[in-house]
Amino acid sequence: MIKLDNLFWDSCVFIRYLTGNPDHRLTDIGEFIRDAQKGQRRIWFSTIAFTEIRPSHLKLKGYGSVADFMEDMAGAFTPIDPNPNILMMAGEMRDVRPLHPQADPKAQQRTLGTPDAIHLASCLHVRDVLGVQDIVFHTFDNGKGSVWEGKCVPLLSFQDWYKNGKSHQHIAAVCALPRKEPIYPQLGLFAGTT
């Protein structure tokens, strides 16, 4: 039996694919989607992505709506709705104050963004409640931008911001969760040769 790789995508991965901006990792994202369409991977996502993908993001790929995009990608993505347990977990995580040990006092005033908390809680739900133990969280979020909530805790280096919160059950679970950019695994140069 072939082992099915499980991924959980942050909205920024979808947005990068749809807009092509920047073009860094577009080929990798496309390969993951092709694998999922062939049934070789399962890509999970939170349905809050539907609120983060704007109509303007869809134009480059020629989609009129998010529904058109999802219909075209039928079978590639598995949605998770934010149920009350996921939302309460996200709220609990947001209540833990992040503190980067090397940041200046003004930089320490970051918070865990609401959508980010929901994405992370949804991924933990897939892992812990649905039993998908091998899941990897894909994101590009390394804290460079700002959102309506201000500067938020970066997801790729999340553990650096919560040295003081690792005793909190959900924060510790996120710190242990594999989180990385969507880099497609490449076979070695001489793989398959004799």
pLDDT of residue 59: 86
**Residue ranges of domains in the chain, CATH in brackets:** 5-180 (3.40.50.1010)
Contact between 191 and 155 (Cβ < 8 Å): no
Interatomic CA distance for residues 33 and 44, integer angstroms? 11
pTM: 0.88
By residue count, the chain amounts to 194
b/e for 32-56, b at 16 or more Cβ within 10 A?
bbebbeeeebbbbbbebbeebbeee
pLDDT in tens, the chain (194 residues): 345 699 999 999 999 999 998 888 999 999 999 999 999 999 999 999 999 999 999 988 889 899 999 898 888 999 999 999 999 999 999 999 887 766 666 555 788 999 999 999 999 999 999 999 999 999 999 877 666 666 789 999 999 988 776 789 999 999 999 999 999 987 544 444 43
